[in-house]
Amino acid sequence: MESSAEQNIVNIEINDISLQVEPGQMLIEVADANGVAIPRFCYHKKLSTSANCRMCLVEVEKAPKMLPACATQVMNGMKVWTKSPKAIAAQKSVMEFLLINHPLDCPVCDQGGECDLQDIAMGYGGDQTRYQERRRIVKDKDYGALVSTEMSRCIHCTRCVRFGEEVGGIAEIGGTGRGDHMEIGTYVQKSLSSELSGNIIDLCPVGALLSKPFLYSARAWELQSYLSIAPHDAVGSNIKIQTRNGKIMRVVPADNEEVNESWISDRDRFSYLGANESRVTSPMVRNSSGNLVETNWQAALDTVIKSFTEIIATDGGSAVGAIASPSSSVEEFYLLQKFMRGLGSNNIDFRLQQQDFSAGAEQSAPKLELSLQEIETQNSIFIIGSDIQREQPLLSHRVRKATLAGAVVSTINPKTIEFNFAISTSVKTDKLTPALAGVAKELLSRGLGGDLNLEQLLTDGAVNIAVEAEHKEIADSLVNGENSMVLLGALAYRDQNQSRIYSLATAISKMSNSSLNIVTEGANALGGVLAGAVPYHSAGKVEVSECGVDVAEMISNPPKGVVLFGVEADKDLAGDDSAIDSLGSGFVVAITPFMDRLTYEHADVVLPLAGFGESSGTFVNAEGRWQSFSGAVKPLGEARPGWKILRVLGSSAELQGFELDSSEQVLNEVKALCDVTADKSEPEISNWSAPTDLGNIEAEMVKPIPLYEVDAVVRRSAPLQEQAKKLTGGVDDV
Amino acid sequence: MDKLIRLIKIWTLWELFQGLGVTGRNLFKKKFTLNYPEEKAPQSPRFRGLHALRRYENGEERCIGCKLCEAICPAMAITIEVAPRDEDSPESKGEVNGAGKSHNYGNRRTTKYDIDLFKCIFCGYCEEACPVEAIVETRIYEYHFEKRGENIMSKEDLLKIGDSEESQLATDLEVDGRFR
Ligand code: SF4
Ligand code: FES
């Protein structure tokens, strides 16, 4: 064993095969990496080791007893047998113990067919029971609208408990009692409140915790899986959409260590339940008596083209505009802007919740400078205006992991926002700008200003900026942290003072040598900018000769013809109802999967758009990662994928460059324009200049959008809404 | 020599008499032709005829929608849809048996149970897979279809057959039970 001198290699033997492995690993990890199957229930690669199920017992040379592989570290010269008669005997007796109290109700249990206990019992279980006594029965718990419980099935592996503590961040579930009287449940009888709670369904190795909406609706073996990307936040979680008979039955996570690890948020998991509510299933045109009537695609498209050409002929291209959902795919953004620009209009926008557009083209694309994985390694994190835990649950999980590793987090947020990780300094305020300016001023006073020219603004300026003790602490932590990051969230993005806030945050990150990370809204805001769905530039940031108008301008001064693409105008757009209604004054083409109020009352043509899981596309997540997905089911009724609708619109308007046959072709065209290497867009260096004023420094921060109100699909998912009601309703039904 | 024997056989009509011998023997044997439909062949308790869905004594259907029969059917003749059923619903008859019973979520029951008799090859695997002896094959083998679509037996049809055949089915299962 010469190599053992090198400290970082350990020689072990598993089942007489010698392996060289890194020290510090557990036996089970080594076995997994080398394709040796060891049965297990409590071990999970993403959770801490509890070693309480004992299913993974293996024989180790010179050890007097069998050792649990999940809690035994590899040691030099170790000889392990996982299938020796002794090991098998031990595993079999553990199995017998586990099966004593587990009900034999596999036929009615939804886990049947994908159950660890069932599978392992096939290998290690006896075919007869020696147990004559009564089995224990445990009362079911109410975990809320998303997770169903059948607690007699629980084998006390404590995966769910550990998940709650380690990942969910709230110790809601725990074991009470001991031995035969142990019960897993919520300590206080209430619904689970974690926004990641659905993951315990996947974690539970038996059928004790199941998906409530999916209950009894399909068997694991009947489902077809399609890889896809979750469309509700900028993380771009990898999901599997599972279908049966062309219907989406459920959504489960797909592992991707770099993005969502093994988890998805409840929003991503249960949103599919809203995908078919109040759908538009055929094209509609408003007739002379003002009613929407169903028609065929050709007629509907002709109406659009005819009206648009009329408008353009009389008022010019700039009389039309388009508003897209920030969760549209890259392909859709690209074709939509191509269509609008082909018509001679640069009025296109997707930044629905933004109020302040004064930064204009200077604002760079909303992007994380770090990768999601790198967030875990930060020592100091400064969160500005973000309910990150609810906005981007899995990004927040990375922040939480950083805090567990010792990072300090500081925030500037409204009072109401609380997080599941420790915060060292929090400025609770309703006004973002002064607090941020305070931090910037503090950094400036430490002589870090460099050539940023901020003195004029912060010290000699008209407004007197107070530097509070907390601002100093934040500055301290940012400057002292070896790796520090500034994170701007949706509240900063939606603020009336957005451009000033972004400038200040950029300045702060420059002065403190931190990375600047921005997340905004929707699943594909970055993709929207890259694909050119903004008034200032077309795809690949090619500047346009004449800037178009932004979404706020389009609402206050509605264009004569407007395309609403995937937007549920009365809920998605910032602004009050009457302002939004004024959008309906012109000729409105609603390309939408859902019927909503504005569409119903004002749209002149409604084109049914494919909904969740129904079309292929690409999202660029906050890191700049381009992730493509394909459709899992056929679009409902007459609905068509967005890129097809736009392509046909483009060619019926006799525009150039719409001869595209597949979404890949569209994607390749965008990628070629955007200079994408290895499916990753690199952060861009924006030209930064000091703002000349601080805008309306007294501007109040906007309210965060509730967790389950973020987009049209989520709003229509009944179980999510029920869960939201349970969590906010105050009174929990016990 | 062979040639001579052959000649003798031919001229004495030896093979003809040999054949007639078989005819003669069988002419006086006991006949086993049945006068179907007046007479019917005896059936084993394991006879695999038309399917039926059984109920418990209290009238509750046995089938719990586990879909094992659907999975095992080699001809893919079975189609099942399952949904939770409220315990208080009119279909939940009397005391529920406990299978799939859950206070929180109702019973696991089928909403659709179709067998396509054109596809079915009467192998009896569904019966063997069933954990609650719900789907069984009866002794019925006389049936016909007049219209397209009648070949699909719905859950109601199957339950009806089960109701009328229950006593026979119970005895057959009882007899066969010893060998399971
Ligand atoms: S409920 Fe499931 S995950 Fe939780 S302890 Fe029991 S078996 Fe393990
Ligand atoms: S997996 Fe090792 S003890 Fe449970």
How far apart are alpha carbons A338 and A565 in whole angstroms? Answer: 14
What does the pLDDT read at residue A44? 95
Q: Does A64 touch chain B (CB under 8 A)?
A: no
Q: Which atom of ligand 1 is nearest to the CA of A159?
A: 3
User: Between β-strands A484-488 and A542-543, what pairing exists: parallel, antiparallel or unpaired?
Assistant: unpaired
Tokens of A242: 């599972």
Q: How far, in Å, from the CA of A204 to the mean position of ligand 2?
A: 14
What does the pLDDT read at residue A322? 95
Looking up tokens 């209950």 gives A215
How far apart are alpha carbons A383 and A381 in whole angstroms? Answer: 6
User: Between β-strands A247-253 and A238-244, what pairing exists: parallel, antiparallel or unpaired?
Assistant: antiparallel
CB atoms under 10 Å from CB of B24, counted, come to 11
What does the pLDDT read at residue B90? 57
How far apart are alpha carbons A226 and A239 in whole angstroms? Answer: 8
What does the pLDDT read at residue B87? 65
CB atoms under 10 Å from CB of A228, counted, come to 25
Question: What is the DSSP secondary structure assignment for residue A273, as one 8-state letter?
Answer: G
Selection from B81, B80, B108, B104 nearest residue B92 by Cα: B108
Handedness of CA A35, A36, A40, A43 (dihedral sign): negative
Handedness of CA A221, A224, A230, A232 (dihedral sign): negative
How far apart are alpha carbons A530 and A538 in whole angstroms? Answer: 8
Please, which contacts does B91-96 make with residues 24 or more away whose CB atoms are closer than 8 Å? Answer: B92/B60, B93/B58, B93/B59, B93/B60, B94/B58, B94/B59, B94/B60, B95/B58, B95/B60, B96/B60
Are the CB atoms for A385 and A489 separated by under 8 Å? yes
CB atoms under 10 Å from CB of A26, counted, come to 19
Tokens of A655: 């525009």
Handedness of CA A270, A276, A280, A281 (dihedral sign): positive
What 3-state DSSP class applies to A517? strand
How far apart are alpha carbons A25 and A368 in whole angstroms? Answer: 32
How far apart are alpha carbons B66 and A152 in whole angstroms? Answer: 19
Inspect the interface and report whether the beta carbons of B64 and A108 lie closer than 8 Å: yes
Handedness of CA A498, A501, A506, A507 (dihedral sign): positive
What does the pLDDT read at residue A685? 59
Tokens of A581: 């209604």
Q: Which atom of ligand 1 is nearest to the CA of A42?
A: 8
Write the CB contacts of A141 (distance below 8 Å, at least 6 apart in sequence): A149, A151, A184, A185, A186, A189
What does the pLDDT read at residue A729? 64
Handedness of CA A375, A376, A379, A383 (dihedral sign): positive
Selection from A584, A576, A651, A645 nearest residue A617 by Cα: A645
Q: Which of B65, B99, B105 is opposite residue A148, by nearest beta carbon?
A: B105
Taking phi first (over 0 means left), then psi (-120 to 50 degrees means alpha), and beta for anything else, what does residue B89 get? Answer: beta
**Does the beta carbon of A41 lie inside 6 Å of ligand 2?**
yes
Give the distance from CA A578 to its chain's centroid. Answer: 32
Looking up tokens 């002149």 gives A604
Selection from A343, A321, A290, A342 nearest residue A588 by Cα: A321
ipTM for the whole complex: 0.82
| Interface contacts A/B by beta carbons within 8 Å | 43
> What pTM did the predictor assign?
0.90
Are the CB atoms for A352 and A567 separated by under 8 Å? yes
Inspect the interface and report whether the beta carbons of B99 and A108 lie closer than 8 Å: yes
- Omega before residue A366 within 30° of 0, cis: no
What does the pLDDT read at residue A4? 45
Handedness of CA A343, A346, A347, A350 (dihedral sign): positive
CA angle (A83, A24, A49) in 5-degree steps: 70
What does the pLDDT read at residue A534? 93
CA angle (A605, A611, A613) in 5-degree steps: 160
Q: Which atom of ligand 1 is nearest to the CA of A41?
A: 8
What does the pLDDT read at residue B93? 52
Question: What is the DSSP secondary structure assignment for residue A380, as one 8-state letter?
Answer: E
Side-chain-side CA neighbours of residue A79 (13 Å): 4
What 3-state DSSP class applies to B3? helix
What does the pLDDT read at residue A690? 74
- Residue ranges of chain A whose pLDDT lies below 70: 1-7, 461-462, 678-679, 682-687, 729-734
Q: How far is B52 from chain A (nearest CA, A)?
A: 19
For A475-532, write each residue's pLDDT tens digit. 999 999 999 999 999 999 999 988 889 989 999 998 999 999 999 999 999 999 999 9
Q: How far is B68 from chain A (nearest CA, A)?
A: 8
**Does the beta carbon of A115 lie inside 6 Å of ligand 1?**
no
Question: What is the DSSP secondary structure assignment for residue A392, as one 8-state letter?
Answer: S
Ligand 1: residue of A42, A48, A138, A160 to mutate (most ligand atoms within 8 A of CB) is: A160
Give the distance from CA A366 to its chain's centroid. Answer: 15
Question: Which ligand is closest to the CA of A175, given by its number?
Answer: 1
Mean pLDDT computed over every residue of chain B:
88
DSSP result, B70-133: HHH-TT--EEEEEEEE-TTSTTS-SS--STT--TTT-EEEEEEEEEETTT-----HHHHH-TTS
For A414-462, write each residue's pLDDT tens digit. 988 889 999 999 999 988 998 999 999 999 888 888 778 888 777 776 6
Q: How far is A209 from chain B (nearest CA, A)?
A: 13
What does the pLDDT read at residue A140? 85
For B71-128, write each residue's pLDDT tens digit. 999 999 999 999 888 766 655 555 444 444 444 556 888 999 999 999 999 999 999 9
How far apart are alpha carbons A534 and A536 in whole angstroms? Answer: 6
Q: Does A140 touch chain B (CB under 8 A)?
A: yes
Identify residue B69 by its one-letter amino acid code.
Answer: C
